Every structure is written in structure tokens, then in C-alpha cells.
A and B are shown apart, each in its own frame.
Chain A
């Protein structure tokens, strides 16, 4: 080598660099695991911290990396304190209502944007994109007025939807519809025209072709959109908080259930942590079952045939 420096004269760092340069394959592997571990630590640590908080039972003061004591019973105890299952049920129902509405409207809009040429399509999509970036809170006052029945349109008054699932499903639909439309538009536009033509010649209307041929063939996209909507509604706090009084009977959602521990007897953080963990389970299960579709949906969405 042209470099005259011998091994002995190099410092530890120099030797390490030599080792890495001479074993690039191993180096890549090491770096990969270092990266992976860091990523997992960053994403999973909050969850672990929540778990420690839930089982140690001593409140937030003096918490260590390892729990002082392990009290698994807390996961059962929370149900006797608050009807967490009812809150979760409400969340799931509202999320499902939103998913259904979003998919129905989103399919129709996606068909128009993805498969029909019409004047003003580009500007309209741009408008949709812009609106989708508005913060939800911007709509709060008019929405609240409207959904609590205080808005009059001519001789009509809007119905009072406070404490019903519709008061939440409405703003959620509004907020998640743009992403649904974007996902479905991409998928629908990839279905070959011939298939729709074939369906129409065989005897369907355009709408029939959408539901019988285009939608089934866009299954990965539909599943992806459904899950994204479901999760974003399930974890939503702001409108859920505004549109319900907070009792399970009033369609209060999971976040209200978690907050309920605070209102009763000071702060019982370990109960809140335990409730949070229980609340995550439905979403985790959903994602595990649908992950294949989601990956396919998210990666395929960007590609054209």
C-alpha cells in the first residue's frame, strides 16, 4: 500500500476503521442492526414506559426503568372502576360508521377522479388536497353550531346530534374523506378500461361496473383506506371530546374512558396507563390481520402498471 503507516502506529480508531473497511459486508450488517435497534427503541419505548407505569401502581413519582412491583391485576381492575369496554365499543362503532360513509362517498369520488375525464378535474383535486390540510379545529364553531341544532337554514333547523354517534361521524368523515379519495383514485385509475367496458357491455351501468368489477379489484386500496380511516377516527380526541357529554350512554369514546379515571379520585395514572394499553389492543389486532393488505396498498398505490 502507498500508505506507509504501519498497524502498530495506528490508534484504536484507525484499527477499527481498517476492520470496517476490510469487512464491508459485516459492517453493513452491524449498521443495519444498530439502526433497527435504535428505531425499535424509539418507537416502542413509550409503550414500554406505559406498561411499566400501569403495572407498578405507584404513580409517576420515582418510576424506574424496571417496575418496582408487578401488578397484572390492574388490567382487570380498570373494568370494575370504569366500563372501559363500553367506551371501546363506542369508539369502534363510530369508527366503523365513518369507514362505511367514507368508502361509499370516496368510491364515487374516486371513480370520478380516477376514471372519468371532466373539465376542472385538476383544480378540484388540488382544492381537495388544500382542504385536507386545514386543521380540524378551524371548523369547530360552525360544526358545533350545526350539530347541536342551533343552525337555521331558512325555515329549517339542523337536528340536535349532540351525544349521538352522528355528531362525531360527521366531522370525522369530513376530515378523513380526502385521504380516502386520494387512495381510491389512485387504485381505480389503474384498473384497465377494458374491464369496465366489458362489464358495461355485459349489462351493468357505470355504477354497477364500479361495485362489481372496479371495487373488488381494488381490494388492497379499499382495505388500506378503511384501516387508515378507522385508526385515525379511533384515536381522535378533539371532536370526540366536544360532541359528547362523556358518559358511555352518550356515545363517549375511549379517550373519555381514560379521562374518567382522572375525574373520579385525583389522578390514577396507572389505571389510565392500563386503560390506554387495553384500548390499543383492537387497533393492534386489526393491523396484524390486515398488514399484508396495507403494505400492498401503500406500496402499490404509487406505482403504475
Chain B
């Protein structure tokens, strides 16, 4: 009853294309997160679904009905806003019942529903207060109550937790998830926080520069990112990415080599290889992966202990000379998450391997994923050994 379909939905502001031909299918009862960096068009997408912004072209369907040009009030949606947007001149009861009163509900029905909604968000005793007398978390709960009281077909949330402090945010996150499961209402949730998206959503839609990058369940986005952007955006700390080329069965990443067993053709000479910090291991550590890559040496730059693990910033041996000038994506620096009990020190030279199962290869030019897990499973073990020797001889 509450499925949403976007077909080639585009929003153009003069010269700027905010959202470019977005195609999205959101199932009934699904919890979808729109996630992306600031200004990527995720809020604009939500506004087009809500009707607060009209698309330049394309259509929006809610519950099978084309609502592209309908005003927000006729779309059977409700919305929770980042700045909460409670009406300051009304008390909590009037805020929650605002939409019901506009729709000429009976007084008893309004009261019953308001009580029900207040109970759901645990605000029972506060109906006569004004929004200014409530804390940030309580205000946002009123905002949610106002949204659920009308029992809409679709629930839209525009970074509803962004203005709350960290502890409350985590608490409200679970509250919203619980509520969504309970009410089983289609929910579209906008956030720039990939962690929030990962933990809450059934599926996440990653958007960048107005284009949909990938729309898939959280773990699929994590394990099989559709392109380089998704790979670097999802996951914290983000994936290590290296430009290089594939020649023969070796990926040459300028400062070090990794062997592979992919069936690559000549077109893939320009590639980017990605490896997550947790998929890089110290040689001879206990949890060394079953499918290690060529080992290579690296120097420990900085150690950042965060408690449950330690982040080590490494510079591959071959890149020592120019390590000062290059940082971040594309640079030779390698971020590794290691066991906090590991006894390594800064300035030390250590040997590391990649988990080849978890290595990702992207096309250097388009950024599209070519392969995930740089290994042909049937030949995993033999190549690993021989490759190690080859690298040592380097």
C-alpha cells in the first residue's frame, strides 16, 4: 500500500542538476536510507517525494498513484524534519493533532489518536507543555508523534537525529527502528551518516552528485560496493584505495604488488584497488587470513589506539621517499586496523598481507567495480604461496 516509485526523477536549478534521473523502487513497509555527502541531492530527492519541491522532469508515484504534481497535503505522507519544526505557538497536543484537525476528524477520534501516539513515543504526561519546555529528544519525539498520528502511507525523515547529541542519537536510532517495525510503514530516511544508514536500513541508496550509486542491503554495499565512491563512502574508517595497473597476474600499485587470479583483459590496465583497514593483516599474526596476498614491507607512521582496536598508518617500503608530500586517497599511505595487543612501534618496519577475498578492484577511469575478492576460489591456496616468494624477490 505504501510503495514509492521514482522514475527518471530530475531536479534542475538553473545550471545545477541537483538530482539526475533518479530511478528508485521502495517496497511497501521497507526502511530505505538515502545516504551521501552534503549537497549530493538526497534531501532534494526526499523533498520531491514529499511534494515540497516539484521535479523538473520524471515522475513520483506513491502507492501506485502518480503524485508528481500533487501538493504535499494530498500525498498521504508525513515527515520528520532535521530542525524538528514544531509549531512554537501551539502546545504538544495541538502540534500532534495539527494534521488531524485540518482533516476534520471527530474530537474524540483526535483525542484517542493523540493519546495513542503520545504513548507510542512515551510522551504521555507532556501534552499540555509547549515545545520550548521540552528537551531536544522530547521535541523530536513530538515530531515523530505528529508524523505517526495520521497513519500515513509513507514516512519521510530528513536527518531527524542530526541535531541531537551523540548518546541520544544512538538511543533515538533504535527507537525509530522499533517504531518502524511496529507500525510497518514505508520509511525513507535521509542521513549523511553512513553508520546510521548501515545500522537502520533494510536497504541503503547511496547518492553522489545527484546520481544514484548503489541501492542494496547494507552489507552488500559494504562487501560488494558498486563503484569506487560507494567503497570509500561506506565503512569507517574508509577503504584504502590505490591506483595502479594489472599486468599478467600481478596488480602493480606503484609501491607494492599484489597477485591476483582474475580473468582481466588488456582494457583493465588502469585500475584502482581497494582494501578495507580490517582486511589487512600483519604477517604471522594469529588471525592471518586463509587467502593472503603477497606480503610486503611497510613502515609504521602513526599508531592511533581507540580501545577495541588500534589504527596504524603505514607507508609501504617502496614509497618511503615521497611519503611526506602525498596523503589521503591515491597516496601511498595505508590504514590498517590491528589488534590493540599487537606489540609494534612507530617507525618499525613490518610485513603485511591483504586478505585477497576482501580485495576490490575498480576500473580506474569510470570507478565501476570490476571484481570483489581478487581471487579465483579454486586456485586460492597455491597462488598465495608462490606469490609471496615472488614479492620477496622484489
Contacts and interface: CB of A to CB of B under 8 A. Distances in A.
Q: A and B: partners? A: yes
Contacts of B73: 200-205
Most B Cβ at <10 Å: residue of A192, A195, A197: A197
Contact of B99 (A195, A202, A205): A202
A216 B150 CA distance: 24
A194 B98 contact: no
A199 interface: yes
B382 interface: no
Contacts of A208: 102
A203 B89 contact: no
The prevalent SS among residues of B at the interface is loop
Given A213-B87, A217-B89, A201 B98 contact: no
Contact of B87 (A195, A200, A201, A203): A195
A258 B200 CA distance: 76
A47 B183 CA distance: 70
Interface residues of B, number: 25
Interface string A197-226: 111111111001000010011000000000
B146 interface: yes
B87 A198 contact: yes
B89 A205 contact: no
Contacts of A192: 83, 85
Contact of B88 (A197, A200, A203, A217): A217
B52 A204 contact: no
Contacts of B87: 195, 198-199, 213, 217
B197 interface: no
B229 interface: no
Q: Give the contact-size bracket for chain A.
A: 10 to 19
Most B Cβ at <10 Å: residue of A195, A202, A204, A213: A202
Nearest to A202: B99
A199 B85 CA distance: 9
Interface in A179-203: 192, 194-195, 197-203
A197 B81 contact: yes
Contact of B103 (A195, A203, A213): A203
Interface string B45-88: 00000111000000000000000000111000111011111111
B102 A198 contact: no
Nearest to B149: A202
A155 B205 CA distance: 64
B89 A200 contact: no
A301 to B, nearest CB: 18
Contact of A197 (B52, B89, B146, B150): B52
Nearest to B79: A201
Contacts of B71: 200, 205
B150 to A, nearest CB: 8
A194 B81 contact: yes
B104 to A, nearest CB: 10
B152 to A, nearest CB: 9
B72 to A, nearest CB: 5
By Cβ-Cβ distance, the 7 closest A-B pairs, closest first, are A194-B85, A202-B99, A203-B102, A198-B85, A203-B73, A201-B79, A194-B83
6 contacts: A195-B85, A197-B72, A197-B85, A198-B81, A201-B50, A213-B89
Given A200-B71, A202-B150, 9 more contacts: A194-B83, A194-B84, A195-B85, A199-B87, A200-B73, A202-B146, A205-B73, A216-B89, A217-B88
